[in-house]
């Protein structure tokens, strides 16, 4: 029987309900085939990093979920929330019940610095802090001690900027957002006065994007501090800016921030956000098991324009830092039954194909880079490969019912998209009562209680 017809729909399990999962579903529905998709998600709620990663003070970025709602409205789409692949159902179960399995499970862990003292108390990861302030249930009970005056953030990507902004903002600036209630309460008690965002390279290489840099000049409580000497660029830096207009805009933004600071526009702001460059942490030190200081080594850049690398000069300084975050990138986690590349933290794949019948898209395919929209072409490329294989795809049991029965036996409450919409409405209503755009449920049992 020809696959992908109304008599024999192409059955695809998508694992993960973030942007790459939804764009993969969209690409499949746009094909000429009749498609049945079951989208598996560990949480009862969809959208991956759009819900748990995008900063609460960036609500417009979250409007992308309207597109995902439209994709979910296709007849062949079925959300299977609250089901953990690898625990409730195995990868081989999926292989048995679907013609193709497409992993879009993202990168839920993070890269380490591998320096002494990294595991001291009050040494945190940006990824867990982001998940905590966004109300991810697995991070709900994390405690971040914000009682110290100096906080250091290593890395200068957009995640580092998000963390710095959330630490820099007043409760007034955050209270109407969908920030988790527990995070707002903790941030209201924060004693942080100095935030150091530290890059191993220079301003011309900073990984954040110009819009994010611009916002740093618009904080109610916080002055941005930059050493003017850092903004004197080398010939290689100038050549890099020629090649990369976004990096040039970043430098323009930073010069603008410096000029504002020098003109006294930030005067009297009680918090300082120090943008520091050419420094790498080489050790964290502390007494009684908690971070007190970070030892930094000055770097010099070497290499051709576009490929300049930081190398330690041996010149060391110590910075008081009672709170420390590393923000040097997310990292994918392995899943039983799927070949994993430990060096990159991604599933082994060739352009999205793991093997015939198994595919991957998004950060677990290509690593943790790019904005939400980057996932669309990534997922479309993967789906193109999947459809090229369609004549070779097979499944033993072309039916979800046995899997649903097994989940029911195990007591797993499968959450449908209609169920999610009820949770969504309840969160929005609870938010309205508090003057917030949404008040998120941060415990799985509270999400499921809406459906009881
Ligand atoms: P990222 O953009 O890759 O930035 C990682 C940062 O860590 C870079 O500054 C990098 O410096 C630094 N780094 C890496 N290893 C290091 C080490 N061993 N020591 C010191 N520094 C180190 O990653 P991200 O910030 O996690 O963001 C992930 C993706 O999500 C990015 O594409 C980002 O743009 C996107 N995102 C977008 C938004 C938004 O659109 N608003 C918000 C959040 C995230 P080098 O450059 O020297 O490697």
What phi, psi does 267 have (nearest 5°)?
A: -55, 145
Atom of ligand 1 nearest to the CA of 201: 47
How many angstroms separate the alpha carbon of residue 34 from the centre of ligand 1? 39
Q: How many A from CA of 110 to the centre of ligand 1?
A: 11
Tell me how far the alpha carbon of residue 328 lies from the centroid of ligand 1, in angstroms: 6
Q: How far is the CA of 441 from the centre of ligand 1 (A)?
A: 29
CA angle 60, 209, 235 (to 5 degrees): 165
* Ligand 1 atom 36: residue of nearest CA: 158
Token pair belonging to 126? 């940006």
The per-residue pLDDT for 2 is 84
Q: Where are the alpha helices (DSSP H) in 266-314?
A: none
> What token pair was written down for 219?
């904080």
Quote the ligand 1 centre to 207 CA distance (angstroms).
Answer: 6
Closest C-alpha to ligand 1, atom 18 = 113
Residues 6+ apart with CB under 8 A from 441: 45, 135, 423, 426, 427, 447, 450
Among 157, 275, 344, which is best to mutate for testing ligand 1, by the most ligand atoms less than 8 A from CB? 157
Burial class (CB in 10 A: 0-12, 13-18, 19+), 255: middle
Atom of ligand 1 nearest to the CA of 212: 41
Nearest CA residue ID for atom 42, ligand 1: 158
Q: Is 127 in the pocket of ligand 1 (CB under 6 A)?
A: no
Helix axes 65-72, 19-30, angle to 10 degrees: 40
Structure pTM? Answer: 0.97
Locate all alpha helices (DSSP H) within 31-177, ordered by sequence: 48-52, 59-62, 65-72, 91-97, 126-133, 158-168, 171-174
Q: Is the CB of 201 under 6 A from ligand 1?
A: yes
Cβ density class 329-344: b for 16+ within 10 Å, e for less: bbbbebbeebebeeee
- Is the C-beta atom of 371 inside 6 A of ligand 1? yes
Choose one of 115, 207, 209, 301 to mutate for the ligand 1 pocket test, by most ligand atoms within 8 angstroms of C-beta: 207
197 CA distance to ligand 1 centroid (A)?
A: 12
Residues 6+ apart with CB under 8 A from 45: 51, 81, 415, 420, 423, 424, 441, 447
Task: Give the closest residue (by CA) to ligand 1 atom 46.
Answer: 207
Number of helical H runs and strand E runs in the chain = 17, 19
Strand order in the sheet with 222-226: 123-125, 323-326, 150-154, 194-198, 271-276, 222-226
Q: Give distance in angstroms: CA of 368 to centre of ligand 1.
A: 9
Are the beta carbons of 149 and 192 closer than 8 angstroms? yes
The reply to whether ligand 1 has any atom less than 6 angstroms from the CB of 157 is: yes
- How far apart are the C-alpha atoms of 266 and 259, rounded to whole Å? 10
Which residues, in sequence order, are bridge partners of residue 443? none
* Range 305-310 contact pairs with CB under 8 angstroms and sequence separation of 24 or more: 305/236, 305/237, 305/239, 305/240, 305/243, 306/239, 306/240, 306/243, 306/244, 308/201, 308/205, 308/236, 308/237, 308/240, 309/201, 310/200, 310/201, 310/278, 310/280
Digitized pLDDT (tens) for each residue of the chain, 452 residues in all = 789 999 999 999 999 999 999 999 999 999 999 999 999 999 999 999 999 999 999 999 999 999 999 999 999 999 999 999 999 999 999 999 999 999 999 999 999 999 999 999 999 999 999 999 999 999 999 999 999 999 999 999 999 999 999 999 999 999 999 999 999 999 999 999 999 999 999 999 999 999 999 999 999 999 999 999 999 999 999 999 999 999 999 999 999 999 999 999 988 899 999 999 999 999 999 989 999 999 999 999 999 999 999 999 999 999 999 999 999 999 999 999 999 999 999 999 999 999 999 999 999 999 999 999 999 999 999 999 999 999 999 999 999 999 999 999 999 999 999 999 999 999 999 999 999 999 999 999 999 999 99
Instruction: Calculate how far, in angstroms, residue 159's C-alpha sits from the geometric centre of ligand 1.
Output: 6
pLDDT score of 271: 97
Taking the C-alpha atoms of residue 424 and residue 438, their distance in angstroms, rounded to an integer, is: 9
């Amino acid at each position: 029987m020809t696959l992908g017809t109304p008599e024999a729909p192409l059955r695809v399990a998508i694992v993960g309900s973030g942007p790459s999962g939804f764009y993969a579903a969209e690409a499949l529905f746009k094909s000429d085939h009749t498609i049945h998709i079951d989208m598996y998600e560990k949480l009862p709620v969809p959208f991956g990093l759009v819900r748990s990663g995008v900063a609460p003070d960036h609500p417009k970025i979250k409007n992308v979920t309207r597109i995902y709602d439209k994709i979910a409205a296709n007849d062949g789409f079925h959300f299977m929330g609250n089901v953990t692949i690898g625990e409730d159902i195995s990868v081989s179960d999926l292989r048995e019940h679907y013609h193709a399995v497409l992993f879009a499970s993202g990168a839920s862990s993070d890269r380490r610095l591998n320096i002494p003292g990294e595991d001291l108390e009050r040494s945190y990861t940006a990824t867990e802090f982001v998940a905590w302030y966004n109300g991810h249930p697995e991070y709900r009970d994390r405690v971040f001690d914000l009682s110290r005056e100096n906080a250091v953030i290593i890395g200068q990507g957009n995640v580092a900027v998000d963390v710095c902004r959330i630490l820099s903002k007043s409760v007034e600036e955050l209270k109407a957002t969908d920030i988790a209630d527990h995070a707002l309460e903790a941030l209201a008690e924060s004693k942080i006065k100095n935030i150091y965002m530290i890059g191993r390279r220079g301003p011309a290489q900073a990984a954040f994007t110009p819009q994010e840099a611009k916002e740093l000049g618009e904080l109610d409580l916080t002055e941005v501090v930059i050493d003017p000497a850092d903004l004197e660029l080398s010939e290689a830096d100038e050549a890099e800016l020629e090649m990369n207009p976004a990096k040039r805009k970043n430098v323009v933004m930073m010069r603008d921030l410096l000029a504002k600071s020098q003109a006294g526009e930030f005067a009297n702001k009680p918090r300082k956000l120090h943008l520091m460059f050419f420094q790498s942490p080489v050790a964290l030190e502390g007494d009684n098991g908690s971070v007190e200081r970070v030892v930094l080594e000055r770097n010099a850049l070497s290499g051709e324009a576009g490929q300049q690398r930081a190398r330690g000069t041996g010149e060391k300084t110590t910075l008081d830092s009672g709170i420390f975050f590393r923000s040097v990138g997310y990292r994918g986690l392995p899943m039983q039954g799927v070949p994993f590349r430990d060096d990159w933290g991604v599933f082994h794949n060739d352009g999205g194909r793991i093997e015939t019948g198994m595919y991957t898209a998004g950060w677990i395919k290509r690593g943790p880079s790019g904005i939400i929209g980057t996932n669309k072409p990534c997922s479309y490329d993967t789906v193109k490969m999947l459809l090229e294989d369609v004549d070779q795809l097979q499944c033993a049991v072309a039916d979800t019912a046995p899997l649903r029965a097994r989940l029911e036996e195990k007591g797993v409450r499968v959450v449908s998209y209609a169920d999610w919409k009820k949770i969504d409405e309840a969160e929005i209503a609870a938010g309205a009562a508090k003057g917030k755009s949404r008040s998120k449920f941060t415990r799985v049992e509270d999400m499921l209680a809406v459906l009881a």
